[in-house]
Structure 1
Amino acid sequence: MSLRRDVLRGATARLAEAGVASPEHDAAELLAHVLGTTRARLPLVDEVGTDALAAYDVLVARRAAREPLQHLTGTAYFRHVELAVGPGVFVPRPETELLAGWAIEQAAAVERPVMVDLCTGSGAVAKALADEVPGAVVHAVELDEAAHTWAERNLADTDVDLRHGDMATSFDDLAGTVDVLTCNPPYIPLDAWESVAPEARDHDPHLALFSGADGLDAIRVLERRAALLLRPGGVVGFEHADAQGESAPAVFLATGRWADVRDHLDLAGRARFTTARLAR
């Protein structure tokens, strides 16, 4: 048996040395996972048994090798929903919750809104929309086969219309009828490989990360698709890199099809997502 505080102290130091951004948080989450409890209830645990300690050491070693925390626990949380995640799917980030929140606010002004989430990945945004917008008709699409399988699992208990396909060609049947469209597209330039955190670069599917020489290829496709799918006056919101606070909105501004093009900051004050309204 080992004291819980000593176990956590050692694991935190190990993760910090490995460059993990939140070593104390991750050490506690992994121990709670091994013990079948929550991080908030860990202080109620005084000692960690030999078997649990062995299992914990394995997980800490994998986290120190920069395997995503959510892959190790099998769970990610997004707004008010819980998601199953693992190898083959992009782990949803907290900053994307702001985009989902914007979409939910926009939908509140429409009776029975039609909503589409392109590049849905794990289904995080689509599930949040279905959860927080009663009466919404929510559609989602994912191209990557492995990610689509995760989305199927996460959306199985919802009425979301999930499709397997390319966002560039999906939902012709909805043309001109969509009220709110969201997308978290790939947006990292190909030459920015070395700047990407190991958790994403080595474990997230590259289809969800990289998008041409300037990182804007998928956003250009999104602009064309959104113009087709949205009704006049419908709105689109999409995430981008913090360095794209001017270049991402410029993709939409250049076409003359959009009004109210606006960029939004995340909670850290970084440019994070763009919204626009299809001109009437």
Structure 2
Amino acid sequence: MTPEPRDASDTDLRGARATVIRRLTDAGVPDAEVDADLLLGHVLGLSRGGLHARLVVGGSLSDDDLSALAPLVERRVNREPLQHITGRAPFRALDLHVGPGVFIPRPETEQVVQIAIDALHAVADPAPVAVDLGSGSGAIALALATEVPHARVFAVEKSPDALPWTRRNIAEFGGESLTLVEGDLADALGDLDGSVAVVISNPPYVPRTMMPVDPEVHLFDPEMALYGGEDGLDVIRILSGRARRLLRSGGLLVIEHAEHQSGEIAAILAADSWRGVSHHRDFTMRDRATTAVR
């Protein structure tokens, strides 16, 4: 919202919402209505449903509300991610802390995690072990630990910028079954070699020459979490070897990746003697994950 003279429509909730939607739309923000609702809800302490209920009965914004809202809208107009502005990112049943330095978890990763959750539930071991390599915010590891509470889960992260967020989320949402390991996924958890039931990773897989189009991504997501070398597969090559050592016979590897990388990843896994390589599509029918059996 610009610092223009206010009239009655500025303080009216419906009018303020319409103004925010217009400003976000003009700035090219996708899903401007959703983001407007979430920004207003953040200021007013309301869920999106609560905000819509308030809109039905009518309401107004105080001067303090307008003063709090204005800089948040400006940040979103400048394409700062909504999650950085609110400080939170929903992921499955979790509401994680995020901000500069950590990759924002995406909805498509929620589907990838389901593969690992289903695999853990199918393991006969009363305390199966799962490892999340390159944990970032901790989203994947926390989903495994909270939705498969009998599993022992290890989250591995090395980025000094991401680790404060990993620690914070694990401290708030994790339990005794979840352990954070600060180190490189290339050689972490050697003491678990041959004992892990599921290894999952959402590694950096964007080719260095393919800058993401969305400003929210290429301006704000950390490069360490985005780029995987010239072809985007450098970390996946390392991941294949490390996961093969970690997993027990019959254990499952789950890798999230870009839709165009399925064939190349299948070739990497075949060269490392993985079995049962399969590709999995997301809700948009794009290849989103590859699994393989040790």
TM-score bin, normalised by smaller chain = over 0.9
Give the AA of the match of 1:50: D
Which of the numbers 31, 35, 48 marks the counterpart of 2:44? 35
Gaps of 5+ in 1: none
Which of the numbers 20, 23, 29 marks the counterpart of 2:29? 20
Provide the secondary structure at the position in 1 that maps to 2:236: helix
Give the AA of the match of 1:268: T
Give the AA of the match of 1:261: V
Count of aligned positions = 276
Q: Does 1:98 align with 2:124?
A: no
Q: Does 1:69 align with 2:82?
A: yes
Q: Which residue of 2 aligns with 1:266?
A: 282
Percent identity, aligned pairs only, is 47
Which of the numbers 130, 133, 137 marks the counterpart of 2:145? 130
Q: Which residue of 2 aligns with 1:204?
A: 221
Deviation at 1:98, TM superposition (A): 0.9
CA RMSD of aligned residues (A): 1.1
Q: Deviations over 1:118-147 (max 9, x none)?
A: 000000000000100021000011010121
Give the AA of the match of 2:199: L
Check the 8 A contact 1:120/1:126 in 2, yes or no: yes
CA distance in 2, matches of 1:57, 1:149: 28
Check the 8 A contact 1:127/1:158 in 2, yes or no: no
Which of the numbers 255, 259, 267 marks the counterpart of 1:238? 255
CA distance in 2, matches of 1:192, 1:4: 41
Check the 8 A contact 1:145/1:164 in 2, yes or no: no
Q: Which residue of 1 aligns with 2:266?
A: 249
Q: Where in structure 2 are the equivalents of 1:43-192 lying within 5 Å? A: 43-45=52-54, 46-110=59-123, 111=125, 112-156=127-171, 157-159=174-176, 160-192=178-210
Deviation at 1:8, TM superposition (A): 1.1
Deviation at 1:251, TM superposition (A): 1.6
Give the AA of the match of 2:161: A
Deviation at 1:201, TM superposition (A): 1.2
Larger Rg: 2
